[in-house]
Structure 1
């Protein structure tokens, strides 16, 4: 029997750093760096350059993986690229990356337009491709440049999001033990308008009118072509959905909370994560909270996995619960056996 297993992860972040102090200097206002950190858990975030796209970040993460992961470009037989900030409407950015990464032309490649739950969805797709015999070595790349959507005068989103990428190698291994899974996935499109870039697609093309900037009741300035987030609604959705999702995964896997060695959730912000941990009753010693690079959307979970493994926080054989949630609304959870 063939099973899908994670073999290696490598991450990459742009060079430009935006600290809380720099943010306040640029935007002014009656706030201070400690206030931002206390609420978000973020001291700084990385910002992609003007001509630096998601594919550029993803390619650099993938090349780091090839340098350290014991696999060559020519061995990859499927590329999954997860992003909501693609290089183009068409072609798929994954096709562009195939050529730039030097992957063989018999390699399948596709884009997944998914955000904060995207890594979980990517793992589900990779597992299906491997265990159905379609592919044997899959490169799952998550990369975002959300900061390009953010208005410089919108502190509701600018304090939170950062740019970054992660590359994960998922391979076929022999054995009956499930290394990735089971999965719990969910969608509720009624929440679509609460985390959205309204203008720029076919539903609302960019026009002179959509680029007009307006201030909201909190003094945050944005246009319809900028990222909008309804923080309170996102928070309520998360507190309602994530505990149920974790409980469903435990039932589906036949495990208890105590059976799970460690928990890595999408690193949205400190306040939200602390509330989730408390509500689910996860011990602090088994729960990851680290927003060193800000909220990097679909990359927060693989970045955390890579860092936790390097630090020795999680070890080979550990059972780790991964939970992603957010834009869509979309959510997903799975268990992975550490490699």
Structure 2
């Protein structure tokens, strides 16, 4: 008798953000004479969470995983693979996922590796988790996203301090005997735009060679050792080109239209960009998830944190068909349809 074919399914998602709140009033005081209130009109961000001194990416990832275990009554012995998406690892080596495996008390016969992706990373992580399960290499994958990007932002860089926050998520992707729940995965990469969103310092290569405009000196900044740089206009233009194309490709692969989608969750970059994309796609507001006002742009965690918040409010419910789209640093993008 032939065994039923198994597919990967998104079973649950949980989020975690650090305790420290940095609101716009605090930034107004620290960044004067810059008006953070004026910037917030476009970003849609009222506050963001940042890590405390000594708090690391692994700390956030572990907290998100523990929240998932607690909320779902999940036995940690059931996990047989860990994927951690981060661009702020605790160390150059070993992989942060190895540290997380140990701290969570998971079995030592689990696989674990890091995905060095940013804003599109959650979709890439779902793709990797789905492939592990569909190929029979794993039954239950713990997909984690975690970044402490505030450590990369120069304290004098007002535009970036108002946007980015720290956060983490944990998603359970597990084998199911039902029909496929992930459909239409599509990906894209344009490394020629890498210089537009980059941490030019702190690595092993000369950042000035790849992105001279990102140099702290060129920006009139005293380096903090990392000095995240973003050319907002270039990234905005990229998003307007890449997101509609990714959506069209994914829907075509899934043999669906936007009318078949119950909710759309994009990378939560900033409110102005999201609203521009919503209008460009002609999506009704009730189908469009925006959940970032109190956490900011949390890069790879932005989609799952928004999804977890929408599940709590009821904007997203089990049984819905979702379209998830990540885009940003790389430059890279990814999209997928998910049936909850």
- TM tier, smaller: over 0.9
**Given the superposition, is the C-alpha separation of residues 234 and 74 from structure 1 closer, same or farther in structure 2, using an over 3 Å criterion?**
same
Aligned to 1:7: 11
Q: Which structure 2 segments of 5+ residues have no match?
A: none
Where 1:334 maps in the other structure, the secondary structure is strand
Aligned to 1:91: 94
Aligned to 1:66: 69
C-alpha distance in 2 between matches for 1:103 and 1:221:
42
Q: Which structure 1 segments of 5+ residues have no match?
A: none
The correspondence for 1:18, drawn from 16, 22, 43, is 22
Aligned to 2:339: 337
TM norm structure 1: 0.94
Aligned to 1:52: 55
The correspondence for 1:141, drawn from 129, 132, 144, is 144
Aligned to 1:237: 238
Structure 2 matches for 1:32-181, cutoff 5 A? 32-33=36-37, 35-175=38-178, 177-181=179-183
Contact 2:262 2:321 in 1 (8 A): yes
Q: Deviations over 1:153-209 (max 9, x none)?
A: 00121110000000001110102x211122010101001111101122221399xxx
Aligned to 1:279: 280
Deviation at 1:250, TM superposition (A): 1.2
The correspondence for 2:327, drawn from 310, 325, 328, is 325
**Given the superposition, is the C-alpha separation of residues 29 and 214 from structure 1 closer, same or farther in structure 2, using an over 3 Å criterion?**
farther
TM norm structure 2: 0.94
Contact 2:43 2:271 in 1 (8 A): yes
Q: Across the two proteins, how many residue pairs are aligned to each other?
A: 330
C-alpha distance in 2 between matches for 1:326 and 1:284:
23
Contact 2:79 2:141 in 1 (8 A): yes
Q: Deviations over 1:79-98 (max 9, x none)?
A: 00000000000011111111
Contact 2:12 2:173 in 1 (8 A): yes
Deviation at 1:31, TM superposition (A): 1.4
Contact 2:264 2:287 in 1 (8 A): yes
Where 2:163 maps in the other structure, the secondary structure is coil
**Given the superposition, is the C-alpha separation of residues 183 and 205 from structure 1 closer, same or farther in structure 2, using an over 3 Å criterion?**
closer
Where 2:170 maps in the other structure, the secondary structure is strand
Q: Deviations over 1:37-75 (max 9, x none)?
A: 211010000010110111100100100111111311111
C-alpha distance in 1 between matches for 2:36 and 2:141:
44
C-alpha distance in 1 between matches for 2:320 and 2:207:
47
